[in-house]
A and B are shown apart, each in its own frame.
Chain A
Amino acid sequence: MIIAIASGKGGTGKTTVATNLALVISEKTKVQFLDCDVEEPNAHLFLKPELQSSEPVSIPVPRVDLERCTYCGICAEVCAFNAIMVGKETVLVFEPLCHGCGGCTYFCPEKAISEVDRPIGVLEKGPAGPLSFVHGKLNPGEALSPPLIKAVKKTVDPSALTIVDAAPGASCPVVEAIQGSDYCLLVTEPTPFGLNDLIIAVELLKKLNLPGGVVINRSLGGEGEAEMESYCRQEGVPILLRMPWDRELASLYARGEPAVAHLPAWRKHFAGLLEQLPVEIEEGR
């Protein structure tokens, strides 16, 4: 069972929801936490895992053997990403543009191209109290995050309930993170930005055929949320939790303290959220 946490807009509270929900569930069953926001992973700041292993994640990039190369130009012709250029007596590879599709290597008639690994980030793992924790960290300056997200997703433990924390947005890194989940929580806030980006996120779930529900953070209730409520009703997406604006919550967040560990009211909120999720938990596992 995989539950993903996403949002169109950044800074709405994905990590707050993901970490607190994971801690509440971990009291009842085995939980694995995957931080798939590899550009800016933050969950470790709250869950404080003991990171016991760190391994590089690489993508294959071409290496051209100039002894064999006849400068025929086929590699450059087949590259859909303009990552390889052939001159009169030189071949240039632009590694950051390479998607690692292997086309140039496969089609080179002289078998002059082999592949070498280029690291784009690291995969780190370790226990965080009762949770098992995994995250990916993209090397700053690297553009391509999906291969690293894929590597984090490969560690999914089918015997546990997995929580996936995704990046903001609605493009390839988010798709990579939430694809294959059983349920997706969308965290939003009651502002024009929040609504605009919630609509994008709901459309993404429809496109991926994923069931989901909404968490409204910094909720002030009343009129301000009427438009969001009517949108959710119209789309048939349930609002599962309203998190009231709470100075204490914000201040715990600032210091990297999970709310459920300190504020009983918030334990209740997240336990209530769990009850509404399509999760079957065998007590006492």
Chain B
Amino acid sequence: MEEIVVISGKGGTGKTTLAASFAVLAGGDLVLADADVDAANLSLLLTPEQLESHPFIASSVAVLDRERCTECGLCRELCRFDAISEDYRIEPISCEGCTVCSRACPEEAIAMEEVVSGHWFLSQTPYGKLVHARLGIAEENSGRLVTLVRNEARELAKAEQKKYLLTDGPPGIGCPVIASLSGATKALIVTEPTISGIHDLKRVLQVCRQFDVPPAVCINRCDLDEENTRTIEAYCAGESVEVAAKIPFYREVTEALIRAKPVVSYTEGPAAADIARLWGNISANGSQAD
């Protein structure tokens, strides 16, 4: 099975737009995972029907019993996350669930309570099953939720003997991105010809290297600044990273997005042809590597 992850470093370069079209192009032979658990958008384009919903419990927060508390100050002294105020209130948003205060309290006045940090879902789309999630607002553990989403999707893809597991990744380079990359056979990095895009591409490529995931690059809206596009191509050549596609700005892509449709379902024009070529390129390269 090929595990292709779409990431970008910089946000808003077109990850989800491309992933939705790849879902259509794979002709039903895939399982999808949306690993952007903060702001999941893939489902908006794929008309999913929810089959299952599960709570995500990964951590606990400290809860203080005022009756027992003698305000000795030990918990405040030990807490490294500034989660306990001067008047002994525990701020759940700051609490990381490390349990130090609860274990140390001489009066046993602090209990740990499990929190539901989000939910994950299994849905059916016309193109294959989709595992996605929603992390609660201001919650932690996005990396663990991403790992859970990908593991569920991977098991499903194995059970259904699908050729591809396609993951729509989050922006950035931190824990949810690292969790998205683990076990992947290819990372498609979607960038744009802006100096921010170039800067972020270099950083996300370093992360791919560290976690040993072979990268390929797509330069999206490549006609926005041709000089920057040439800079990216030269950089990739120097790093022996394949540029799998250069896709110019197409009005149909924006139109498809506004109508919440995958580009290749909305138009048969050049935008769709470019995306199909890119999918052919990364999916074929993947199987050669087997």
Contacts and interface: CB of A to CB of B under 8 A. Distances in A.
Interface stretch (B4-12, B156-164, B233-241, B269-277): B4-12
A253 B11 CA distance: 15
A62 interface: no
Contacts of A211: none
Interface in B113-139: 135, 137-139
Nearest to A169: B38
Contacts of B199: 40, 42, 45
Contact of A8 (B39, B59, B257, B258): B39
Nearest to B42: A193
Contacts of A39: 171-174, 177, 203
Interface stretch (B48-56, B64-72, B90-98, B280-288): B90-98
Interface stretch (A65-73, A171-179, A266-274, A277-285): A171-179
A255 B225 contact: yes
A200 B44 contact: no
A156 to B, nearest CB: 15
B170 A169 contact: yes
A167 B224 contact: no
Contacts of B57: none
B89 interface: no
Contacts of A140: 173, 203-204, 206-207, 210
A2 to B, nearest CB: 17
B98 A99 contact: yes
A175 B96 CA distance: 13
A224 B174 contact: no
A11 B80 contact: no
A145 B194 CA distance: 24
Nearest to B118: A171
A104 to B, nearest CB: 9
Contacts of B193: 254
A103 B173 contact: no
A228 to B, nearest CB: 12
B225 A103 contact: no
Interface in B9-34: 9-13, 16
Contacts of A190: 258
A208 interface: yes
A251 B193 CA distance: 10
Interface string A81-111: 1000000000000000001111100110000
Contact of B39 (A45, A81, A170): A170
The bracket for how many chain A residues form the interface is: 35 or more
Given A143-B143, A255-B225, A40 B10 contact: yes
A232 interface: no
B206 A141 contact: yes
A254 B173 contact: no
A197 to B, nearest CB: 4
Given A140-B207, A145-B174, A171-B138, A106 B78 contact: yes
A167 B12 CA distance: 12
Contacts of B192: 254
Interface residues of B, number: 60
Contacts of A138: 173-174
A254 B193 CA distance: 7
Contacts of A40: 9-10, 171-173, 196, 199-200, 203-204
Contact of A191 (B39, B97, B258): B258
B138 A207 contact: yes
Nearest to A13: B12
A215 to B, nearest CB: 14
Interface string B156-194: 000000000000001111110110000000000000111
A220 to B, nearest CB: 9
B185 to A, nearest CB: 19
Contacts of A102: 78, 80, 100
A170 B170 CA distance: 12
B267 interface: no
A80 interface: yes
Nearest to A245: B254
Contacts of B194: 253-256
Contact of A99 (B96, B104, B178): B96
B137 A10 contact: no
Interface of A: 8-12, 15, 39-40, 42, 45, 78, 80-81, 99-103, 106-107, 138, 140-145, 167-175, 179, 190-193, 196-197, 200, 203-204, 207-208, 224, 250-251, 253-256
16 contacts: A9-B39, A11-B13, A39-B174, A45-B199, A100-B80, A101-B96, A106-B104, A140-B210, A143-B175, A145-B174, A171-B142, A191-B257, A200-B137, A253-B194, A255-B195, A256-B194
The 10 A-B pairs with the shortest beta carbon distances in the complex, nearest first, are A10-B11, A11-B12, A101-B98, A169-B38, A143-B175, A39-B172, A254-B225, A140-B206, A10-B171, A42-B196
